[in-house]
A and B are shown apart, each in its own frame.
Chain A
């Protein structure tokens, strides 16, 4: 099929447009700030729009990484660098409301602050780093019982009030809460290592604590495996549970009774835990990502994350030229992974920004004036009002303005328009080839 089509291929001329070198970064978390800094360091003007009133994102709730690095000083450093950078303009309290223009020359409107003051920004590159949100699940008495916390909350207790941790004798952690279920089939990727990080931190403070991690699959990928081993060595007990028989939880005063089936003993075990930590993971912020996807015309995955143009070949590019995605807006990630991706985005964006024009491919509609009946059907059907009847009385389509959708092509009653790259003879050749194979 493809070969039959390629046989009919014609030489194509790429369309180029001048590019506006300003960058709009949406989202002021670690990813957004990192991309913004990298690009601003190269001398490009960056507008960093953040929905909330301060920079930092979800990472403001994280104090240590698995490897033991301090997160808060790092974020504080990022924030001050971003705020002080001569080429970065931070816009907090900004809600994106509209978007128009062409690749290389976008216009994005936002409402800013409590007064909803409207501002429009011209830019050529857009970086989406809108992040994700902790899964707001209510399972396992999370809301009703004080002893039940998310891993993020547990992490805060460990960092801020270590004395509380000293009083815990039994700690149970349940993995995959609200993830890898029918409703949310996604694996949050970060929870296994978070559980181990917190378990190790608890043991550091309170070496006598008994920690049970109830898991479905431990996925401590890469060198995280070493920390998993370390946790086992230190006596953390890992118990596998199946999705069909999840642990049950019963609040008992200040404590909580957790009952689970031990696969080796083949019987139910009840632990009276002083603290139950739920690994609830991250989910896409559907409210904002759905709206942004509509405004920017970008595709999302079934679970609401922005979908890259190609998983392997263009992992940080979005399908619209000049759009990139970094961090947990793309999928759940660790801080260091978000930083890597943010740097990748900055590098990809620079391949565009280093030039004075943007290459838009060759898919533009072309009119054969010898065939054109000047019927105006293309003029009326074009969603972007590009075709017009020229002084010679024929339809003309400016290839630089053409978006390449091909609607005029399919409606032209004189068959006078061809969309380059998708010419009729190429499509027909594919059709014929299919049936040549089938009928043979």
Chain B
């Protein structure tokens, strides 16, 4: 899932200040699941913006709506009948949703209300942690199912650096050294020999090193 966090209110106020009427748009997918951009957050942000602007003496009409997904054009199309008179859209989706809107509504300014953070997993209620960086060439099969790219600060591919002490990373005691985790896991799988294999230098082209990536399923693509 894509995770995100709301931007500071001050930044959002700067975006919407010039307008009299905006659409605040939530997304019922990833950002709802990580409690950043669902209906609830839309309601909270609308009220917060309204109050902050009222305090500074300006008035704004905020229309609230939440789409099933902002990253699909068909859902975005639902906005067409309701967008009349809207001067700008403040999107509470990830960057994909924001861009989808910007592409569709050429004459409308579209602003992000969230900072899109990472692809992550839920550790427990209210806690999400980074797990994948979309490198396009998954190595989890040889690293015991634990990703050194997403979870090592240096993205080391062949064991830990000298900063690994008692299983923790040198950047913070709260961060596990991922190579310690990988080693422990390989050991419990009885695959210690995997650790000895030297991984060649990673080809980062599949991770976006050679420009924006695209997936085309030829059987489906029209």
Chain A residues close to B by CB (< 8 Å): 371, 373-377, 380-381, 412-416
Question: Complex: how many Å from CA A371 to CA B66?
Answer: 10
Selected A-B contacts with CB under 8 Å, 27 pairs: A371-B28, A371-B39, A373-B28, A373-B32, A373-B33, A374-B33, A375-B32, A375-B33, A375-B35, A376-B33, A376-B122, A377-B33, A377-B35, A380-B124, A380-B125, A413-B32, A413-B33, A413-B38, A413-B40, A413-B41, A414-B38, A414-B39, A414-B40, A414-B66, A415-B38, A415-B43, A416-B39
Question: In the complex where A380-B124, A413-B41, A415-B40 touch, is A373 in contact with B35 (Cβ < 8 A)?
Answer: no
| Least CB distance, A406 to chain B, in whole angstroms | 14
Inter-subunit contact B29/A373 (CB<8 Å): yes
Query: Closest residue of chain A to B122, judged by CB?
Result: A376
B108-139 contact mask (Cβ, 8 Å, vs A): 1 or 0: 00000000000000101100000000000000
Query: Closest residue of chain A to B37, judged by CB?
Result: A413
Give chain B's interface residue range (CB within 8 Å of chain A): 10 to 19
| Least CB distance, B75 to chain A, in whole angstroms | 14
Chain B residues close to A by CB (< 8 Å): 28-29, 32-33, 35, 38-41, 43, 66, 122, 124-125
Q: A371-B39, A374-B33 given; name 19 further pairs at CB < 8 Å.
A: A373-B28, A373-B29, A373-B32, A373-B33, A373-B38, A375-B35, A376-B33, A376-B122, A377-B33, A377-B35, A377-B125, A380-B124, A381-B125, A412-B40, A413-B41, A414-B39, A414-B66, A415-B38, A415-B43
Inter-subunit contact B35/A413 (CB<8 Å): yes
Majority SS of interface residues in chain B? mixed
**B32 contacts which chain A residues (CB < 8 A)?**
373, 375, 413-414
Question: Complex: how many Å from CA A377 to CA B124?
Answer: 10
**B43 contacts which chain A residues (CB < 8 A)?**
415
Query: Closest residue of chain A to B33, judged by CB?
Result: A375
Query: Closest residue of chain A to B43, judged by CB?
Result: A415
Question: Complex: how many Å from CA A377 to CA B41?
Answer: 14
Question: In the complex where A373-B33, A373-B38 touch, is A414 in contact with B28 (Cβ < 8 A)?
Answer: yes
Question: Complex: how many Å from CA A52 to CA B189?
Answer: 59
Question: Complex: how many Å from CA A416 to CA B33?
Answer: 12
**B124 contacts which chain A residues (CB < 8 A)?**
380
**A374 contacts which chain B residues (CB < 8 A)?**
33
**A371 contacts which chain B residues (CB < 8 A)?**
28, 39
Question: Complex: how many Å from CA A122 to CA B164?
Answer: 56
**A373 contacts which chain B residues (CB < 8 A)?**
28-29, 32-33, 38
Question: Complex: how many Å from CA A374 to CA B33?
Answer: 8
| Least CB distance, A381 to chain B, in whole angstroms | 6
| Least CB distance, B129 to chain A, in whole angstroms | 16
**A376 contacts which chain B residues (CB < 8 A)?**
33, 122
Instruction: Report the 4 A-B pairs with minimum CB-CB distance, sorted nearest first.
Output: A413-B38, A375-B33, A415-B39, A373-B32
| Least CB distance, B36 to chain A, in whole angstroms | 8
**A381 contacts which chain B residues (CB < 8 A)?**
125
**A414 contacts which chain B residues (CB < 8 A)?**
28, 32, 38-40, 66
Question: Complex: how many Å from CA A416 to CA B26?
Answer: 14
**B125 contacts which chain A residues (CB < 8 A)?**
377, 380-381
Question: Complex: how many Å from CA A383 to CA B91?
Answer: 33
Question: Complex: how many Å from CA A380 to CA B124?
Answer: 8
**A371, A381, A415 — most chain B CB neighbours (10 Å):** A415
Question: Complex: how many Å from CA A201 to CA B122?
Answer: 76
**B39 contacts which chain A residues (CB < 8 A)?**
371, 413-416
Question: Complex: how many Å from CA A373 to CA B93?
Answer: 14
| Least CB distance, A202 to chain B, in whole angstroms | 68
| Least CB distance, A322 to chain B, in whole angstroms | 32
Question: Complex: how many Å from CA A416 to CA B68?
Answer: 13
Question: Complex: how many Å from CA A381 to CA B126?
Answer: 10
Question: Complex: how many Å from CA A375 to CA B39?
Answer: 13
**B33 contacts which chain A residues (CB < 8 A)?**
373-377, 413
Question: Complex: how many Å from CA A415 to CA B39?
Answer: 6
Question: Complex: how many Å from CA A374 to CA B28?
Answer: 10
Question: Complex: how many Å from CA A374 to CA B122?
Answer: 13
